[in-house]
Structure 1
């Protein structure tokens, strides 16, 4: 916390705290097998998500025109071709 003193008194300013946005991938299509979800076709990484390589952080998988389809705990990115999510939870069989 920062304190600023002035003729009018002391003003306390709280530090700016911003929650980091969850990583997000959006693709044009998807398939699911069990708790593995694969987004494919024109995939885009958002909120600092990596475009290639192993992912060891939770992320959300969206499909263009549909919205959120799964939240995954790990995976592998090979953008723009596909993103494979592992240990995912989502309403895959309902979409």
Structure 2
């Protein structure tokens, strides 16, 4: 008498192989989403920093050129940079530095 492989679980093994391949695809996709989200946050933080820096440098009301005191301006610039970095994840802070 001849018993087919499916009687001994071969179909289950093939099914689990396909499940494993599907889970691998989901994992790869999730990693890509996480990477892209992190990059978007880092880019946003860098853009916020540039906006704040430009505001401090070029604002006609209170920018560096109208401030008259470099130490005061430098302190505000550093404070703004630290605020931007603090709102970012550790892995994204290099975009602000």
- Tell me which interval the TM-score lies in, with the shorter structure as reference length: under 0.3
Larger Rg: 2
Q: Which has the higher contact order (CA 8 A, sep 6+)?
A: 2
> Structure 1 or 2: larger strand share?
1
What's the TM-score, normalizing by structure 2? Answer: 0.25
TM-score (norm 1): 0.26
Give the number of the structure whose residues are more often helix, by fraction: 2
